[in-house]
Amino acid sequence: MKTFTLAILLLLITGCSTQQYKLYWRAKDFALDRSPMVGLRGRDEQIVWTIPTRTIQEMTLVHLRISRAANIQSDLYIVEGDDPNAFATFVNGQRVIGINLGMVKLINGDVNQYAALIGHEAAHWANGHVDAGQTRTNTLNALGTLVGVGLSAAGVPAVGLITGVGVDLIDSSYNRDQEREADAQSIDYLLLSNYDPRGAITLHEKFLHMDRGLRLPFLSSHPSNEERMQNLKALIEAKRPAQ
């Protein structure tokens, strides 16, 4: 099992919720690793989580295909955090789609659910929702530290130590119309990329079961799960080619 560390210290106010994150791991840095499992390490060198390399590879491929369908460029990051969440934001001026460990555990390797999730965040980029959030908020600067240890021998260089990293902190909480627009656009991306759009329904069924008495960050600004599932089912029915 290979182990990887990529730590960024920052306060993140962005995406589909407001969260404080401390650790990021860029997916493409270890997607080519030949070990069956990847160990994600924290700053204390303790393994935070282990994840099958195949899952990382499939996430990376989904991200590539969806990004092409959406005609956007972004990096995909895995982020620490227990409550399932995902977001779109700027890091060092670069577009980022982040999926936290709680969401990775919830999806559990289902590529169609990853496609639905990444498609939703990609739609926020494609429709200018993140950029609109940037115009509503003063850009803040934060000092961060990136630490790279033991990266893949398969051509992935060690990140090393970089100090003074500037991170744009954007308050880009979306309104419900923007969330509905992102849902609708994501179905197009899934169909164009040959993923099953019903993965979105499966994912929201999981949210529905989890959300009883628990306020999930990912759902804080979204329409209710029941409403979203009804809308998604109608969209899929209307957009899918006749069988």
User: How far from chain centre, in Å, is Cα 157?
Assistant: 23
Q: Residue 233 sits in which domain range?
A: 2-239
Average pLDDT for 213-235: 69
- CATH number of residue 95's parent domain: 3.30.2010.10
Q: Does the pLDDT at position 218 exceed 80?
A: no
Q: Does the pLDDT at position 104 exceed 90?
A: yes
Q: How confident is the model at residue 132 (pLDDT cuts 50, 70, 90)?
A: low
Residues 18 and 219: beta-carbon distance below 8 Å: no
Residue 157, classified by CB atoms within 10 Å of its CB into exposed (0-12), middle (13-18) or buried (19+), is exposed
Average per-residue pLDDT for the chain: 75
Task: Give the C-alpha separation, 61 to 120, whole Å.
Answer: 16
User: Does an H or E element contain 41, and which?
Assistant: strand 37-41
Q: Does the pLDDT at position 210 exceed 80?
A: no
Task: Give the C-alpha separation, 180 to 4, whole Å.
Answer: 36
Highest mean pLDDT range out of 43-52, 146-155, 220-229?
Answer: 43-52
Domain count, the chain: 1
Q: Does the pLDDT at position 141 exceed 80?
A: no
User: How far from chain centre, in Å, is Cα 4?
Assistant: 19
List Cα–Cα distances, 101 to 47, 176, 238, in angstroms: 13, 25, 33
pLDDT in tens, 156-191: 333 322 223 333 434 446 788 888 899 999 999 999
Average pLDDT for 20-36: 84
Q: Does the pLDDT at position 12 exceed 60?
A: no
**Which of the pair, 53 or 14, is modelled with greater confidence?**
53
Average pLDDT for 40-44: 83
